[in-house]
Amino acid sequence: MEERNQLTEIERGDESCILRFKDGASYEVEYLAIRSRCQCAKCKPRQENEQRILEFDEEVSRLKMEKPRVEPVGHYGIQLEWPTGCSSGIHSFSHLRIIAEESGKQI
């Protein structure tokens, strides 16, 4: 893993979080953006093509987005436990960095 992608802090709000990385970059990212990019065995297959991504995004957007519980996974990622269900996906720091850069707001 690139050192710049090392997550050093996650500050959880009600609808979004602030992800701070080792290189000093910080992003505010809505939980919806992270939840819709879940990499677990249940969610990832639903992101295989554009049509399935649209359907999955629509389904996730109808869920009530609540602040998830966060558990560290080794030195490479976190596991988010969503009150609306999914809790098996591991989000690597590099995966979170991609989401932050694509969907977040740099602060």
Question: Do the bridges between strand 77-81 and strand 7-12 make them parallel or antiparallel, or are there none, so unpaired?
Answer: unpaired
Whether the model clears a pTM of 0.95, i.e. scores above it, the answer is: no
- pLDDT higher at 65 or 21: 21
Q: What's the whole-number mean pLDDT along residues 86-105?
A: 90
Q: What's the whole-number mean pLDDT along residues 62-75?
A: 86
Q: For residues 27 and 82, give the distance between their C-alpha atoms in angstroms, rounded to a whole number.
A: 20
Looking at the 3D structure of the chain, how many domains does it have? 1
Q: For residues 74 and 24, give the distance between their C-alpha atoms in angstroms, rounded to a whole number.
A: 21
pLDDT, the chain, mean: 88
Give the pLDDT score at 1: 56
Question: Do the bridges between strand 90-92 and strand 26-30 make them parallel or antiparallel, or are there none, so unpaired?
Answer: unpaired
Residue 30 sits in which domain range?
A: 3-106
Among 1-5, 35-39, 66-70, whose mean pLDDT is lowest? 1-5
**CATH number of the CATH domain containing 21:** 3.30.2020.30
